[in-house]
Amino acid sequence: MRRTFCGCPHTKPLPVPPPVRIGLRAPVRTRSERAVALLAFVAAMLVLGILALWMATLSGTHATAYLGHYHSSGAFYAAESGGEIVMRELKLGADVSGDGVVGEVSNDGDDGNDPSLSSGSFHVSSGSNQYLAAGSWQGYRRVVELTTQ
């Protein structure tokens, strides 16, 4: 005798249910759908790559501009320090810089003997009551004009 679900001899056996799948099943894609998805992915990667290159270029440009400002400021401070030495010489009436002239600093046209700083130098020339202090720093040059009364 055959056993059935309820154990009664008059009933048929129950069918076996299909196995239960947990999760979603990936839909079947056609060839054209896969091609469109691949093109969209390549386009997105291209846009992201261009954005990354743009950001790198922008960062480099910003750094170059900042470095120019930094060196230009160094040249200004070099010129200003030359002006301060001249003002001290005029106040004391003595040659502080050691070049033999009161009111000038290394104004002999020879850049080799200009007073040097860590990465720059300066010299000062004089007129009647005007003084031009020129400072250089890493290839940048700034001139400061001083007037006395």
Helix (H) or strand (E) holding 144: strand 140-147
- The answer to whether position 22 is within a domain reads no
Is 14 within a domain? no
Residue 134 makes CB contacts below 8 A (sequence gap 6+) with 79, 82, 122, 123, 124, 125, 141, 142, 143, 144
The two counts, helices (H) then strands (E), for the chain are: 1, 3
Residue 21 lies in a domain: no
| 71 falls within a domain | yes
Please list, in sequence order, all residues whose beta carbon lies within 8 angstroms of the beta carbon of residue 5, skipping any fewer than 6 positions away.
Answer: 11, 13, 14
Q: What's the confidence (pLDDT) of residue 39?
A: 96
- pLDDT reported for residue 15: 78
Residue-level pLDDT at 1: 47
Q: Which residues of the chain have pLDDT under 70?
A: 1-13
- Overall number of domains in the chain: 1
Domain that holds residue 105: 34-147
Residues 6+ apart with CB under 8 A from 54: none
Q: Give domain status of residue 4, yes or no.
A: no
